[in-house]
Amino acid sequence: MAIDPLSNARSERRWAFAMVGAAMMMLFAIVWASLSPHMNPPSNIENVDPNTLHIAGEFTEDNLGTQVDAKGRVTTRIVTSQFSFAPECVVVPQDMQVTFRFVSPDVIHGLLVVGTNINTMVVPGYVSQVHTMFDKPGDMLMPCHEFCGLGHSQMVAHVRVVPIADFKPDENGRVACAEH
């Protein structure tokens, strides 16, 4: 059977259109995810010494958890380590921009909060930063999603989202989960 060169050319053109269309869809998905649900690769490269982060600076025990600064910005600092989060529960306000900052003193950890854009790895030596906003109140699970050793499956934290009316920083701008 003879091959019709014209039909070959048409087929080539159809596939070229399909390929350009697929590439445009992927590009659109990337741009949409980055602009609308704020899903971006880590944009800040910030170093921290994993050997001394518990002794001095931003990630000492007193500074962990949620803090509101003088300009009203909400920042939550968490240390991830084998095999727990410190603190294991954090309080954040609903419908407000919240910045999470994570560090690890030992091995690579990772974490996510289902239904939000919080999903990052925590690599020793770097600060992992995520900006987010929660649109409904409630307790959300934040498990470690990077196998970090034998206790990995026990490694989980809670993010407690409260309505702004119930978000009451103390005189130092700090908000913590109630003891229990």
Give the Å distances, CA to CA, from 123 to 45, 62, 70, 129. 11, 22, 29, 11
The footprint of Cu ion (CB under 5 A) covers 109, 144, 148, 155
For the CB of residue 140, give the shortest distance to Cu ion in the complex, in Å.
18
Closest approach of Cu ion to the CB of residue 88, in Å: 13
Tell which residue, 109, 133, 117, 8, has the closest CA to residue 50. 109
User: In the complex, what is the shortest distance from the CB of residue 150 to Cu ion, in angstroms, rounded to a whole number?
Assistant: 11
Nearer to Cu ion, 83 or 167 (CB): 83
Residue 144 or 159 with smaller CB distance to Cu ion: 144
- Name the nearest CA neighbour of 146 among 104, 114, 109: 109
- If the CB atoms of residues 156 and 177 are measured against Cu ion, the closer one turns out to be 156
Structure tokens at 160: 């407690």
